[in-house]
Amino acid sequence: MKQARIVGTGSYLPQRVLTNHDLSKMVETSDEWIVSRTGMKERRLAREDEYASSMGTEAARLALKDAGKSSEEIDFILVATLTPDYIFPSTACLIQQELGAKKAAALDLQAACSGYLYALSMAKALIESGISRNVLVIAAEKLSSITDYQDRSTCILFGDGAAAAVVSAEGSGLAIKTVHLGADGEQAELLMLPAGGCRKPASQESLEQRMHYIKMSGNEVFKHAVRRMQEAAKECLEASGVSEEELAWVIPHQANIRILDAIAKRFSHLPANRLYKTLEKYGNTSASSIGIALDEWRKEGLGKTGEKVLLTAFGGGFTWGAALLHYE
């Protein structure tokens, strides 16, 4: 059977930095509160003329270069985003055009912060079924466009950025062994963007009520995130026949340091630095967060041949997932 592998990665972070100190001038908060409750110190903000498509294109170019592939070799582009440039056309089509990936089909998918893992799962299926040979997985978020900088409980968390991976039927890299996904629409309203869709199109009222921004019940989401990410990790490992002790690295969605600490407890055999973190400098970049972390982890040369790596995510929907990768 064919084996899908990540053979190249890339990421893009906008240059502008938004520090906790900057936020403390915008809402009633403090560096001390944000660091102790979230672990975050800074996040990046896209310029006005930077979009999910332009950031995704930059990340994709770097991933293609890393993989040693041209855009013409790509036959499918999957873009995970909850901040697309437009409702339609898809951001994937805009990126396809920018890259000149003329032979590629292009599709957006939306699984909030679990989007990267959902896209990896689709890429694996496309490759291993023989439908595609080279799939470009991209996650790109301009969360600053839907963040309410008057709401101190959410604006401290989110940042902008993009990540990409070339998933291929040939070449060496990180073999995608198992991706385990889940969803539960029952708690959809705990984390959502209420207006702008067909249920509540933009109106004077929706603008006045600030309904085009992320609304979140932080406490509730926190509890679900811990539970679901731990369960997803366990179920993914069980499905793979791999024990927790065999893992060399865990690269989780960068939601909150306390959520990551709770996950770390499950993998108590791992030294603390083997749970890879970027949230201190980038905050929560939703679908992009695992992809950015994976790219930085690779570029730092931290992984070694033969090691097993677990990715785990949770997001609005609710959605969640975990993926087991083998470094080959």
CB-closest chain residue to ligand COA: 218
Catalytic residue among 134, 253, 256, 326: 253
Pick the piece of the chain touching ligand COA (CB under 6 A) from 27-35, 84-92, 180-188, 244-252. 27-35
48 CB contacts (<8 Å, ≥6 apart)? none
**Nearest-approach distance from CB 261 to ligand COA, in angstroms:** 12
Q: Residues 217-256 vs ligand COA: string with x where CB under 6 A?
A: -xx-xx--x-----------------------------xx
Active site residue 284: yes
Q: Of residues 175-214, which lie at the interface with ligand COA (CB under 6 A)?
A: none
Residue 291 backbone dihedrals phi, psi, to 5 degrees: -65, -40
Q: Of residues 39-58, which lie at the interface with ligand COA (CB under 6 A)?
A: none
Residue 142 or 326 with smaller CB distance to ligand COA: 142
Q: Of residues 57-116, which lie at the interface with ligand COA (CB under 6 A)?
A: 113
**Nearest-approach distance from CB 161 to ligand COA, in angstroms:** 15
**Nearest-approach distance from CB 279 to ligand COA, in angstroms:** 10
Whole-angstrom CA distances from 158 to 146, 214, 256, 327 are: 10, 10, 10, 30
Active site residue 20: no
**Nearest-approach distance from CB 73 to ligand COA, in angstroms:** 33
Which of 153, 231, 248, 266 contacts ligand COA by CB under 6 A? 153
Active site residue 236: no
38 binds ligand COA (CB under 6 A): yes
Catalytic residue among 93, 113, 155, 236: 113
**Nearest-approach distance from CB 316 to ligand COA, in angstroms:** 7
**Contact positions vs ligand COA (CB under 6 A):** 29, 33-34, 37-38, 113, 152-153, 156, 216, 218-219, 221-222, 225, 255-256, 284, 314-315
Q: Which residues participate in catalysis according to the annotation?
A: 113, 253, 284
